[in-house]
Amino acid sequence: MEFVQVQRIHKISRLQWMQYGAALLVICVHCGPILENPAYNHLLKGALCRVAVPFFALSTAFFVREKSRWQPGYFRTYMRSLVKNYLVWSVAFLPLGMLWLQQNLTLPLYLYPAALLVGVFYTGTFYHLWYIPALLLALWLGHFLVGKFPYKVLLSGFGCLYLFGCMETYYGFLPEGGMKVVVDAYLQLFVTTRNGLLFVSIFVVLGFLISDYQDQLHKLSSYYSWGLVVSMAGLILEERLIFGSGNLDSNFLISLVPLSFCLFLWGLAGSQQAPRIKNCSKYYYFIHPYAIFVVQQITQQEMTRGWEQFLLVVVITHGMSWLLVMGKGKLTGRYLSRL
């Protein structure tokens, strides 16, 4: 049993490398243009970098499902921990959120409390924090529905919701009237289709599916690489199709569903030594907007210098993450020394 556990942890290490890479992709999306050529820049940021969030959602769901199987009550403990962390980061980003409101919206002061509530429960108090309430909703839905309905029903249902969300990406192809009216009405009320119900839930269910059917899926491991190649080709073709089409955003891409599925299975099937850098990289997602803000203040301009500023943001993000890890380690050590 001990050998199996060690081997399982060793296999997870490739996924830790991939999670670190996904964190870099998130930073890339939030920086300014990386490549001078608009077409290539859109391919990078509008397609390839979009793999990061689905991969994170699928990974989180998988590990939550795994630990819940062996630790009764883990799901509730994890959700509470995630809520607490989210509230801490929401407070930490309130200054930048307030600054963004003042610069981009002419919102009366008396509506700021309402904006705060919308931010905390839906959009996040800053642009990147939308993912946590979305993940919380998707995890709760998945945990509640899996077992009550077969996976084919859940994947069909959430797949249809995901396709509706794709209307934001394919908005330029919608004819006047009909579906376009429905999408416009939805966006007027909910601002974006990027939320836990329409976007994250399909990937959470896939993560649960992989956890529940690992043995059966392992027998198909020889096909993962082919699945990656085909779905990646589909992603590139999809990006070329929507480029310059008048899309509202490109968060939703149909190819992301099979690509995330195959990518995670490929990572789960392999093994490599995991770097210690993973201790810092898990904070990259939360901290990097402050690093972007620092670089903007240093350069006194928007993020328009390509790779140089992107690398500078990564270095500052890593430095901030390292300080946070070291600080938490010292606080933990002092606490334990008093016991």
Segment 63-115, tens digit of pLDDT: 999 999 889 899 999 999 999 999 999 999 999 998 888 888 777 887 888 88
Q: Is residue 255 part of a domain?
A: yes
Q: How far, in Å, CA of 259 to CA of 102, rounded? A: 39
Considering only 154-158, 284-288, 316-320, 330-334, which range has the smallest mean pLDDT?
330-334
Q: How far, in Å, CA of 254 to CA of 119, rounded? A: 27
Q: Is residue 223 part of a domain?
A: yes
Smallest CA-to-CA distance from 53 within 196, 171, 190 is with: 196
What count of Cα atoms within 13 Å lies in the side-chain half-sphere of residue 278? 12
**What percent of the chain has pLDDT above 90?**
56
Q: Is residue 50 part of a domain?
A: yes
| Residue 222 burial (CB count, 10 A) | 8
Q: Which domain holds residue 73?
A: 36-274
Q: Is residue 239 part of a domain?
A: yes
Question: What pLDDT, on a 0 to 100 scale, did the predictor assign at position 231?
Answer: 95
Q: Is residue 281 part of a domain?
A: no
Q: Is residue 146 part of a domain?
A: yes
Question: What average pLDDT does the segment 242-267 reach?
Answer: 91
Q: Is residue 156 part of a domain?
A: yes
Q: Is residue 289 part of a domain?
A: no
Domain count, the chain: 1
